[in-house]
Structure 1
Amino acid sequence: MLKTKDLVLVALFAAIIIVLGVMPPIALPLVPVPLTLQTLGVMLAGLMLGPWRGLMAVVLYLLLAAAGLPVLTGGRGGLGAFMGPSGGFLLGMLAGSWVVGYLARRAAYHQKELLHAVSGYALSAFIGGVLVVYLFGVPGMALALNMSLQQALMAALMFLPGDIIKVLIAAWLTFRVRRIYPL
């Protein structure tokens, strides 16, 4: 049974994912693909809330999107978004948020030293928030766009520099927040 605090945190992090997802993309120098912040919210949910509450925040976010609310990047919503090139990435966020939370609990929650904690959070966010999301997203993109897995992977790798920046931001923010207010 979830406590009121858990429900509030799940709703709060679903809202954070929405706000980060609808923010305009950020152009990075030397990178041909703009940076969107949607997956930063997914990483933060897993890192700060743990595997189950983080997963529930992403489930709530995706249910709102599936219901047609314009909460996805670019103001999209509806079931059609799950059938397009980003559909696999959206589904990958479910598994990714859980993996991020699980790994962070094992690797970093009890670390007091900045370097150990941030590196544990960063590794957790990279494995769950990037690798696991790509594991679902790349095949989904290949299927939706009728391209080979190799072509889809090469297209997805253009997002990697931005994803690494998001991993580092999520790790640092999590360390700072959890020192002040352990969720």
Structure 2
Amino acid sequence: MSDIASASFKPAFSPLKLNSRSHGIQLVAVTLGTLFLALSSYIEVPMVPVPITMQTFAVTLVGALYGWRLGGITITAWLVEGAFGLPVLAGGAAGAHHFVGATGGYLFAFPVVGMLVGWLAERGWNGNRVLRAFAVMLMGNALCLTIGAAWLAVLIGAEQAIVHGVLPFIVGAILKSALGAATLRAVAPSAKRVDQV
């Protein structure tokens, strides 16, 4: 009975198998993950009050590939680097003041988004089923926009938060979700691929 119970908690999808690796390998994975997140921050389209970046693509992908625990740790480590002055945030920005400004809600949303995507990916919403992978990536992007806009609404009002913090990012969220799903499909173990939704 205990074997059955413990098996139900094991991730169904873990292409990198990081949960079963040594702490040293996991530390390397966290370091590489924070580097990937930092590099994604440099790909941006300047906008006011919040730029469009590839951060949500990277956040959802790290969550899906690393799983909810290690994904959350990796994303949090990246944000801590930014808070302590490393130029790893959007466009090479750094400093704790970004966490209380217009981008604060989006930044605080990232670990939550990565953990949600990772948790769902471990339970079948992944590259083995590409439509589910797209759906979970889209859910992650939508959650990020929702939390970010809620924070922004406190600063500039609800209407302006939607106009400036949600609407300009919808098309990008869809495209990044499709790219994330395609990436997951590419790394899904070919023997376990399932074409049904």
TMscore range, shorter length: 0.7 to 0.9
Work out which of the residue numbers 161, 166, 182 in structure 1 matches 2:171: 161
Residue matched to 2:30: 10
Deviations, residues 127-160 of structure 1 (Å, cap 9, x unaligned): 12x122123201111223xx22232123222111
Give yes or no for contact 2:127–2:133 (8 Å, CA) kept in 1.
Answer: no
Give yes or no for contact 1:85–1:142 (8 Å, CA) kept in 2.
Answer: no
Letter in 1 for 2:68: P
Q: Which has the larger radius of gyration?
A: 2
Letter in 2 for 1:95: V
Moved over 4 A (4+): none
Work out which of the residue numbers 167, 176, 185 in structure 2 matches 1:175: 185
Residue matched to 2:153: 142
Would you say 1:120 and 2:140 are equivalent positions?
no
> Identity percentage over the alignment?
28
Deviations, residues 41-81 of structure 1 (Å, cap 9, x unaligned): 10110111111111111011100000011111122111011
TM-score by length of 2: 0.77
Give yes or no for contact 2:75–2:111 (8 Å, CA) kept in 1.
Answer: yes
Equivalent residues in 2 for 1:1-183 (5 A)? 3-25=23-45, 35-109=52-126, 111=128, 117-128=129-140, 130-144=141-155, 147-155=156-164, 156-179=166-189
Please report the RMSD computed on the Cα atoms of aligned residues, expressed in angstroms: 2.4
Structure 1 residue 24: deviation in Å?
Answer: 4.1
Q: Determine the C-alpha separation between the residues in 1 that align with 2:148 and 2:51.
A: 18
Change (3 A) 1:110 1:38: closer
Give yes or no for contact 1:118–1:171 (8 Å, CA) kept in 2.
Answer: yes
Q: Determine the C-alpha separation between the residues in 2 that align with 1:34 and 1:63.
A: 20
Q: Secondary structure at the match of 1:71?
A: coil
Structure 1 residue runs of 5 or longer lacking an equivalent are 28-32, 112-116
Give yes or no for contact 2:127–2:181 (8 Å, CA) kept in 1.
Answer: no
Structure 1 residue 35: deviation in Å?
Answer: 4.2
TM-score by length of 1: 0.82
Residue matched to 1:114: none
Q: Secondary structure at the match of 1:158?
A: helix
